[in-house]
Amino acid sequence: MVKGFLATNSETAYSEAQKMLDQHFGNPVVVAEDYKRKLRGWRKIRDGDSKGLEEFSDFLVHCEETMKTMKSMSELDSTEILQSISAKLPAHLGIKWCRSAHESVVKERRLGEFYGLCQVCQTRS
């Protein structure tokens, strides 16, 4: 994104590059949509793919941290997004997440949350 400004020998190149970065990365709606796009496009993790699971888990933790400061990320708690994410997990973790979400509904009368999904991925059991 900023490469075009590197070749420019203009006094305003730095401020223009900074504006462009702020428009793209400083806009919470754009950031949230980018996270959702990456989650939707993540490949299904096969059983035994510990490296793939670790990468996915790390990304989920990154999403979770971003959710704490950006209200536009709260959509990651939606049933549709959670189902999409859980479908990418290896079978045993998908089942574990479904059980955890079901317990939340039965015991606490609330839907599963993104945080719970992160916890399931981090335990890897």
109 found inside a domain: yes
Give a yes or no: residue 16 inside a domain: no
pLDDT value of residue 118: 53
Q: Which of 37, 119, 41, 25 is nearest to 76 (CA)?
A: 37
| Residue at 10 is within a domain | no
Judge whether 19 lies within some domain.
Answer: no
Give residue 43's pLDDT band: very low, low, confident or very high (50, 70, 90): very high
Q: Is residue 42 exposed (0-12), middle (13-18) or buried (19+ Cβ within 10 Å)? A: middle
Task: Compute how many other C-beta atoms are within 10 angstroms of the C-beta atom of residue 44.
Answer: 13
77: left (phi over 0), alpha (psi -120 to 50) or beta: alpha
Could you give the number of structural domains in the chain? 1
pTM over 0.85: no
The reply to whether 62 falls in a domain is yes
Residue 82, domain member (yes or no): yes
pLDDT for 9-27, tens place per residue?
677 777 777 777 667 667 7
User: Is pLDDT at 29 greater than 50 in this prediction?
Assistant: yes
Q: Which domain holds residue 52?
A: 28-123
